[in-house]
Every structure is written in structure tokens, then in C-alpha cells.
Amino acid sequence: DADVTQTPRNRITKTGKRIMLECSQTKGHDRMYWYRQDPGLGLRLIYYSFDVKDINKGEISDGYSVSRQAQAKFSLSLESAIPNQTALYFCATSVTGVGVGELFFGEGSRLTVL
Amino acid sequence: QQQVKQSPQSLIVQKGGISIINCAYENTAFDYFPWYQQFPGKGPALLIAIRPDVSEKKEGRFTISFNKSAKQFSLHIMDSQPGDSATYFCAPKPNSNYQLIWGAGTKLIIKP
């Protein structure tokens, strides 16, 4: 089983719908992240969380919200999806420590907003 | 927002050849220089990383070369193999910020 699991892996939805992407991890890491990947743009950080009570905005948080339900669970919500949120979304984890350290990614959730 | 420029966008190399991917940055205050490798349908995975107090780091066929004065760090893949075909990202970290700054990626194809 994957250490970082994302659900759903693929989702097609319509403009205005609420969407939740879920991430769970078995690595025991405190830190969790949501990234968005678009062709030619690399990865951009949406939100990150250092522990259950700590949520921080990343580079592109507008239009997104997150919830850290437990150390192992971090979900990303799009309250009212729009077509330019069509992208590949990744959840990642890392250990607590000085600096960033190694990021461990899930396999991604491909979202299409029509 | 610090800028990271990764080149080339795509690269085709014959099996056994050397693959070279470059990452240039505009801000000297970076303290961590990783390269991530991503296969289709998978998330990125850390390949190799370097700190600015070291000019070169080698792990098997993979080498990072860091040129502080040129504000550039490069990934060299020696004896490139078809299994190295993937997208590679540089993602340096500014020392004043927790976030990695990701390059746009390089799609590498190794021809058998």
C-alpha cells in the first residue's frame, strides 16, 4: 500500500460544484502539503500544515480551503470549482525538522472542471 | 517571488549518453538545492540534493554540480538509461522561506 494515499485519483465535475480531495498517510509525518501541478509551471503550493493545529496558506490559496482532521489526514476543498482549477493535485508529507527535508508525494488526483 | 529557470524544457539523449539539466536562480539566499524525478502517473520523488557549502555531490550515476557565483545548479546523469526517462524538477528553497520554488520541469527521453 502507498504511504501517501490520495482519493479520488480522477474526478470530473462541473463549474460551481464543491469538491473535496482527501489525503491520508501512514508515514507518521507531522507535516503535510497540498500542491497543484500544471504543465509548464512546475508545482505550486496551495496550503501546508505543520501539525493538526497549524494551517498555512501557500502561494496560490485563493479558491481553496483545507482541513487537517488528524495527523494522518489532510483534505483540500474547492468550495465552488471553476475551469481554471483543472489540474493535477498532489498531497505530500515530510518529517519535522530543520528546513524542508524530503517531500513524499502521493500519486496525485486529476481534477477536471467543465 | 524568487524566480527559478529550468532548462531545457525537453531533452532526448541516446542510451549511454550524458543528460544535463540546468537550473538558474535569481536570488542568492537559497539554502537547499534538490532535484526531484517524476514518472508518468506518479508523484515526484527526491532524487538528489545539495547544500550550498558543497560544490558537487554524486550518488551513483547522478551528480549535482553547484555554481554559486553563476547562481546555477545542474543535474548530470551519466550512462543514461531508458529507465531514466522521466520529468525532472529543480526545487531550491530560499533560506527566508519554507516553500520550495519549483522549476517548470524537464522531460527527459532516453532512446534505446
Bridge partners (DSSP) listed for residue B34: B49
| Residues within 8 A of A (CB atoms), B 51-80 only | none
pLDDT band at B60 (very low <50, low <70, confident <90, very high): very high
Predicted local confidence at residue B27, as pLDDT: 67
Most A CBs within 10 A among B4, B6, B100, hence the mutation to make, goes to: B100
Q: Kindly report the nearest CA distance between residue A71 and chain B, in angstroms.
A: 20
Q: Say how far apart CA A92 and CA B45 lie, in whole Å.
A: 10
Predicted local confidence at residue A100, as pLDDT: 65
Q: Kindly report the nearest CA distance between residue A79 and chain B, in angstroms.
A: 25
Yes or no: say if A2 and A67 are a contact pair by the CB < 8 Å rule. no
Q: Is the Cα dihedral A38, A48, A92, B93 positive or negative?
A: positive
A64 touches chain B (CB under 8 A): no
* Residue A112, pLDDT above cutoff 90: yes
Of B50, B3, B45, which is closest to residue A94 (Cα–Cα)?
A: B45
Task: Tell me what the pLDDT averaged over chain B comes to.
Answer: 92
* Residue A102, pLDDT above cutoff 70: yes
Residues near A99 by beta carbon (within 8 Å), at least 6 away in sequence: B31, B32, B93
Mean pLDDT of A51-71: 94
| Residue A39 vs residues B2, B9, B12: alpha-carbon distances, Å | 20, 11, 19
B23-48 pLDDT, tens digit per residue, is 999 866 888 899 999 999 999 999 99
